[in-house]
Amino acid sequence: MRIRRFVRLIVCSAPLLVGALLAGMSPQMLAAQSTDTPAAPALKRAVVLTSPQQAYSLPPDKLVKAISISRIRNILNIAGSVWSIVFVWLLLATRAWAALERWTQRISNRRWIQGAAFFAAYLIIDALAGLPLDWIGQHYERSYGISVQEWGGWLGDVGKTLGLTIAIGVPILLLFNWIVRRWPRRYWLGIWAVTLPILAVLSFIEPLVVPLFFKQEPLAKNHAALVAKLETVVARTGIDIPPDRMYLLEASAKYTGINAFVAGMGATKRYVMWDTATDQLPDDEVLFVFGHESGHYVLHHIPKGFALSAVGLFFLYWMCAAFAAWIVRRFGARWGMSELHTADKDFSVGAPQLSSRTGLVVLLFSISIASFLLQPVSNAVSRHFEHQADVFGQEAIHGIVPDPQKTAVAAFNALGQSWLEDPNPNPFIEFWLYDHPSTQHRAEFALHYDPWVNGGHGEFFKN
Ligand SMILES: [Zn+2]
């Protein structure tokens, strides 16, 4: 039920986007693994245990675990964002990127080879820098029983993700670098223009990468009866996902958490159910999960997210170009960038060093700072879409399951328990980090959402 990644793109940069998309291909992000939840104050905790109105609740032993792992996830999440910024800055300040660039200039006279070597090294160094925190995260997910993946397999996934990042990221960074050299004054506009088709292509190929990380099979292969039930929801929603576009993912080899997602565009569009969901949820709740995912398609969340990304990125790139130029003017000499520029165009305006590869790192650096600060904006949009999908999902199963409210609440409880989601996240953390409403908010809404009482109808269906 997690993330339509496109929604995240709204204020993300293209390179970060590429990272996000690639991360989405890795098991970590496909997972319903939440970017979630801090510990609730002790007082509030007592209320959780006793309040009869609590729509999402956990047995006491799981509650303690949920609060504790949520705190760890939040710390790792924020620390990861801050560290990725600080790390790049450290290598700038110690002139390491500049030294790397001079070294790559010595290995070949061909500019594209120099650039490819530099950007491949950049992506590898960046991945290595993030590895310790990823490792700590995986350690805790394993010790709390959320991940069941062995370390060898985990490292293999890390390697595959890095390989994909290099294969996709290096050509994109070369292209960006070329655009900066070619159009020194308005390069951000050029980068913006190429970002959009790149995003569309990545979204298209994304589902094709999933089999690198998970085994999958047609859902109908071993769940024919379930597919027949899903077809009743399909008929009600009018969504055009035929049974041969429904897949079952063998996620239980790596996770115990429940999840499902829609992905792809056009010919690659598909619905993917994790086997943890089919194993742990009654069919009615699987139908609700499917209804939610259908909502993302029927309500056009992917194109809407794309359009919002386009607008957001326009302003983001524009601001970051100015910010990066300021950084270079202020610190460029100190960071050893004075001699680096290779501009073959007039750079009388702005900062010529931005056309170097280290200059592109400065640009990425400014974009990652801005993205971190704007994260609450993209998450607010994402939460809105997710809430809409929740409403849609509940309406989609009306008339198909006996009690949509009960079904949805039960599904949220199963989902929350399976990932050990904190029932009482700190509101500020929810505002900043959550791309879905908290499980508590979702379950509470579901519990009280009954538009059909007194002959009414829902928001998206006429009956
Ligand atoms: Zn969703």
What spacing in Å lies between the alpha carbon of 296 and ligand 1's midpoint? 7
Q: What are the backbone dihedrals phi and psi of residue 300, each rounded to the nearest 5 degrees, phi first? A: 55, 40
Percent of the residues in the chain that have a pLDDT greater than 90, as a whole number:
75
What spacing in Å lies between the alpha carbon of 258 and ligand 1's midpoint? 13
Tell me which long-range contacts 14-17 makes (C-beta under 8 A, separation of at least 24): 14/172, 14/176, 14/191, 14/194, 14/195, 14/198, 14/199, 14/313, 15/169, 15/172, 15/173, 15/176, 15/364, 15/367, 16/364, 16/367, 16/368, 16/371, 17/195, 17/199, 17/202, 17/309
What spacing in Å lies between the alpha carbon of 385 and ligand 1's midpoint? 7
pLDDT band (50, 70, 90) for residue 6:
very low
Model-level pTM? 0.86
What spacing in Å lies between the alpha carbon of 234 and ligand 1's midpoint? 17
What spacing in Å lies between the alpha carbon of 416 and ligand 1's midpoint? 14
pLDDT band (50, 70, 90) for residue 167:
very high
Return the minimum-mean-pLDDT range out of 22-36, 185-199, 227-241: 22-36
Among residues 131, 147, 159, 200, the alpha carbon closest in space to that of 28 is found at 147
Return the minimum-mean-pLDDT range out of 49-53, 84-88, 111-115, 382-386: 49-53
Res 53: pLDDT: 59
What spacing in Å lies between the alpha carbon of 209 and ligand 1's midpoint? 20
Instruction: Give the pLDDT confidence of 370-427 residue by residue, as tens digits.
Output: 999 999 999 999 999 999 999 999 999 999 999 999 999 999 999 999 999 999 999 9
Res 21: pLDDT: 39
- In this predicted structure, the answer to whether residue 339 has a pLDDT above a threshold of 90 is no
What spacing in Å lies between the alpha carbon of 354 and ligand 1's midpoint? 39
- In this predicted structure, the answer to whether residue 35 has a pLDDT above a threshold of 70 is no
Res 281: pLDDT: 96
User: What is the average pLDDT value for the chain, to the nearest integer?
Assistant: 87
What spacing in Å lies between the alpha carbon of 353 and ligand 1's midpoint? 42
Res 42: pLDDT: 36
What spacing in Å lies between the alpha carbon of 376 and ligand 1's midpoint? 17
Instruction: Give the pLDDT confidence of 300-311 residue by residue, as tens digits.
Output: 998 898 899 999
Sign of CA pseudo-dihedral 215, 219, 224, 225: positive
What spacing in Å lies between the alpha carbon of 301 and ligand 1's midpoint? 10
Res 338: pLDDT: 81
- In this predicted structure, the answer to whether residue 429 has a pLDDT above a threshold of 70 is yes
263 has which bridge partners?
270
Q: What is the mean pLDDT of residues 98-114?
A: 94
pLDDT band (50, 70, 90) for residue 341:
low
Structural domain spans, the chain: 5-211+301-375
Sign of CA pseudo-dihedral 382, 198, 342, 94: positive
Return the minimum-mean-pLDDT range out of 16-20, 265-269, 280-284: 16-20
What spacing in Å lies between the alpha carbon of 176 and ligand 1's midpoint? 32
Q: What is the mean pLDDT of residues 107-126?
A: 95
Instruction: Give the pLDDT confidence of 202-215 residue by residue, as tens digits.
Output: 988 999 999 999 99
pLDDT band (50, 70, 90) for residue 5:
very low
What spacing in Å lies between the alpha carbon of 272 and ligand 1's midpoint? 12
Look at 263 and 122; give whichever has higher pLDDT.
Answer: 122
Res 77: pLDDT: 96
Instruction: Give the pLDDT confidence of 61-72 residue by residue, as tens digits.
Output: 999 999 999 999
pLDDT band (50, 70, 90) for residue 54:
confident
What spacing in Å lies between the alpha carbon of 429 and ligand 1's midpoint? 19
What spacing in Å lies between the alpha carbon of 455 and ligand 1's midpoint? 28
Among residues 81, 74, 82, the alpha carbon closest in space to that of 35 is found at 74
What spacing in Å lies between the alpha carbon of 39 and ligand 1's midpoint? 24
Q: Let me know how long the chain is.
A: 463
Res 454: pLDDT: 86
- Neighbour-count burial for 427-459, b at 16+ CB within 10 Å, e otherwise: eebbebbbbbbbbbbbbbbbbebeebeeeeebe
Res 33: pLDDT: 36
Cα separation of 319 and 157, whole Å? 35
Res 43: pLDDT: 34
- In this predicted structure, the answer to whether residue 286 has a pLDDT above a threshold of 80 is yes
**Residue 42, both tokens:** 């002790």
Q: What is the mean pLDDT of residues 328-343?
A: 81
Look at 280 and 185; give whichever has higher pLDDT.
Answer: 280
Instruction: Give the pLDDT confidence of 16-25 residue by residue, as tens digits.
Output: 444 443 333 3
